[in-house]
C-alpha cells in the first residue's frame, strides 16, 4: 500500500519508535513518585517539554501535554464557561474539534460567530471587527486548514484584535514540520498541536498557553501539568512527541522542500491526465504537499475505492458513511458546489513518499478515471 494521506496521520519515525520502546521497557515509573524510577520518568517528561518549546519558540513552562489536539482545543473552549465573556469568533472552515464543541457549549451560554472565507479558503479579515461583541472572549482561527491546506493570516488577526485585549487561539495541528511556527511572531495566547501529525505517536497532544492564569483544567483529579491536566502522564508517548517535535524543526527545510517537489510533479503531470480537474485552496498560501482537487463528473467515494484496490491510499474531501457522501463543510464555505464537492479527493504527501510513488499514484488515477 502506498500512503498519500499524511494530513490524516503519519507513521512513527524510527527514532521515535525506538525511544518509546526503550522507555516502556526500562522507565515505567510514575512521574509523581519520588523514588528513582519516578524521578527518571519526570526527567523524561521535562526533556520533552523543552523539546516542544524549542520547536515553536516558547518557554517550557508554557507547554501542557494533553491526549490530543482535540483535547487541547476543548480545554481552551471549555474555559469560556468560567468567563464573563462567552462569545467566540471562529471561522467557517474549522475542524469539528472547534465547531462541534462550540455547538455543544451553546446551552451553557457560549455563543459564536463564524467568519466567512474566500473561494481560496482564507478568512475574510474585513468581517473580523464587525463580528466583535462586548462579550467576545476568544478568537479561534486555525493556522492551516486540514482539507485544503490554506494558511491563515494569524499574525494579522492578532494585530487587529490586540487593541481589544481579546485572547487568540490557533489550531496548529497540521503545521509543525511543514511551515515555521514561531510563538513570538504569531503572538497567540493558545496553540494546539498533535504528535501523530508530525511522525509522533497517536494519543498525545500539546497546548501552548501564554499565561496559565487564563486556562482552566478540563480533567479534574491530580496535580499533573501544573494542576491543569489531571491524570498520570503517558511518559513514552510524551517522550515520542518531544523527539518528533525536535526532528520536525530540525528537518523543516528539507522536509518542506521534499513535499513541494512531489506536489509540483503531481500537479504538472495530473493536468495532462485530466485537464478539466479543479484545484482548491490558495496555492501561494498553502501547506506544502497537500492538494485538494475535484474531478468533474466523478464521485469521490468511487474513485477512492478504485485507488484502494490499486493499493493507493488517499482521502476524500467529503465524509463518506454507510454508502452516502456528505459534502464537505469546508468546501461549501468556499462556495464549491455540491457536484464538485462530492468529487473531491485530498492527496497529502509525506517524508516517505518518492517520485516513483507519485508516478504510481498518477497511473492509478488515470486508470480510475477510465469509464
Secondary structure (3-state) at 193? strand
CA angle 330–264–278, rounded 5-degree value: 40
The dihedrals phi and psi of 245, each to the nearest 5 degrees, come to -65, -40
The number of beta carbons lying within 10 Å of the beta carbon of residue 246 is 19
The alpha carbon dihedral of 264, 268, 274, 275 has a sign of positive
Q: Decide: residue 85, CB within 10 A, 0-12 exposed, 13-18 middle, 19+ buried.
A: middle
For residue 210, give the DSSP letter. Answer: S
Instruction: Please state, in angstroms and rounded to a whole number, the distance separating the CA atoms of residues 318 and 331.
Output: 9
Cα first-last separation, the chain = 24
The grid coordinates listed for 113 are 460567530
Q: Which of 295, 301, 263, 299 is CA-nearest to residue 276?
A: 295
Q: Cell 485544503 sits at which residue? A: 148
Distance CA 280, CA 283 (A): 8
Task: Write down the catalytic residue from 265, 320, 362, 369.
Answer: 320
Decide: 178 and 348 in contact? Cβ < 8 Å.
no
Whether 286 sits among the annotated catalytic residues: the reply is no
Evaluate whether 296 touches 278 at the Cβ level (below 8 Å).
yes
Residues serving a catalytic function are: 320
Amino acid at each position: 500500500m502506498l500512503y498519500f494521506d499524511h494530513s490524516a496521520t503519519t507513521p512513527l519515525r524510527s527514532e521515535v519508535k525506538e525511544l518509546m520502546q526503550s522507555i516502556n521497557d526500562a522507565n515505567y515509573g510514575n512521574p509523581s513518585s519520588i523514588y528513582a524510577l519516578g524521578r527518571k520518568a519526570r526527567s523524561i517528561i521535562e526533556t520533552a517539554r523543552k523539546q516542544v518549546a524549542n520547536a515553536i519558540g516558547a518557554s517550557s513552562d508554557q507547554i501542557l501535554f494533553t491526549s490530543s489536539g482535540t483535547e487541547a482545543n476543548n480545554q481552551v473552549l471549555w474555559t469560556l464557561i468560567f468567563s464573563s465573556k462567552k462569545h467566540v469568533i471562529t471561522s467557517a472552515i474549522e475542524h469539528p474539534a472547534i465547531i462541534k464543541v462550540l455547538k455543544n457549549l451553546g446551552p451553557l451560554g457560549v455563543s459564536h460567530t463564524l467568519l466567512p472565507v474566500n473561494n481560496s479558503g482564507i478568512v475574510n479579515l474585513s468581517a473580523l471587527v464587525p463580528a466583535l461583541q462586548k462579550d467576545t472572549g476568544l478568537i479561534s482561527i486555525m493556522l492551516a486548514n486540514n482539507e485544503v491546506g490554506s494558511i491563515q493570516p494569524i499574525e494579522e488577526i492578532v494585530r487587529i484584535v490586540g487593541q481589544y485585549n481579546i485572547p487568540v487561539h490557533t489550531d496548529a495541528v497540521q503545521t509543525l514540520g511543514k511551515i515555521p511556527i514561531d510563538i513570538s511572531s504569531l503572538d497567540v495566547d493558545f496553540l494546539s498541536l498533535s504528535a501523530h501529525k508530525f511522525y509522533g505517536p497517536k494519543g498525545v497532544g500539546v497546548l501552548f498557553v501564554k499565561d496559565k492564569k487564563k486556562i482552566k483544567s478540563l480533567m479534574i483529579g491530580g496535580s499533573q501539568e501544573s494542576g491543569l491536566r489531571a491524570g498520570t502522564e503517558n511518559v513514552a508517548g510524551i517522550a515520542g512527541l518531544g523527539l518528533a517535535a525536535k526532528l520536525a524543526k530540525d528537518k523543516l527545510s528539507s522536509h518542506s522542500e521534499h513535499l513541494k517537489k512531489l506536489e509540483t510533479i503531481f500537479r504538472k503531470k495530473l493536468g495532462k491526465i485530466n485537464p478539466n480537474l479543479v484545484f482548491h485552496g490558495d496555492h501561494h498560501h498553502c501547506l506544502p504537499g497537500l492538494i485538494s482537487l475535484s474531478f468533474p463528473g466523478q464521485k469521490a467515494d468511487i474513485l477512492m475505492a478504485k485507488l484502494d484496490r490499486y493499493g493507493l491510499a488517499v482521502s476524500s474531501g467529503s465524509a463518506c458513511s454507510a454508502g452516502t457522501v456528505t459534502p464537505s463543510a469546508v468546501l461549501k464555505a468556499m462556495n464549491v458546489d455540491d457536484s464538485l464537492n462530492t468529487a473531491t479527493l485530498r492527496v497529502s504527501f509525506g517524508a516517505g513518499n518518492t517520485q516513483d510513488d507519485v508516478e504510481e499514484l498518477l497511473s492509478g488515477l488515470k486508470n480510475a478515471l477510465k469509464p
